[in-house]
Amino acid sequence: MTIERLHSGPRMSQAVKHGNTLYLAGQVAKDEFATIETQTAQVLEKIDALLTEAGSSKSKVLSVQVLLTNIADFSAMNSVYDKWIDPANPPARACYEARLASPNLRVEIIAVAALD
């Protein structure tokens, strides 16, 4: 099977296609000083763009991992996430607290989606 890497750099690719599966790298907000709601919206916009570019959509998301720097942000993050996700096709999901690459980032989301 062919492997196609999108937006690759020396350390990582933003997305990798293998067979009928799309793997997205952890996506973080553009504005690391924004609120959790704004950061979540920015992350989901980036995910939407990568899904579209690769030929997928949020209705085909299989799995999501949400990393929060403070689990107290869970409800506020969900207030944005719940409006984004396709309610007819919710993915498997885990959410946990973790330190991120920058201390001001509040959320990172990793996703896997189908391509067919």
Give the pLDDT confidence of 83-95 residue by residue, as tens digits. 999 999 999 999 9
87's CB contacts (< 8 A; 6+ apart) are none
Q: Could you give the number of structural domains in the chain? A: 1
Comparing CA positions, the residue from 11, 35, 32, 44 lying closest to residue 103 is 32
Range(s) of the domain holding residue 39? 3-114
Identity of the amino acid at 38: T
| pLDDT tens-place string over residues 41-68 | 999 999 999 999 999 999 999 999 999 9
| Beta carbons of 108 and 43 less than 8 angstroms apart | yes
pTM of the model: 0.96
73-93 residues labelled b (16+ CB within 10 A) or e (exposed): bbebbeebbeeebeeeeebee
How confident is residue 116, by pLDDT bands cut at 50, 70 and 90? confident
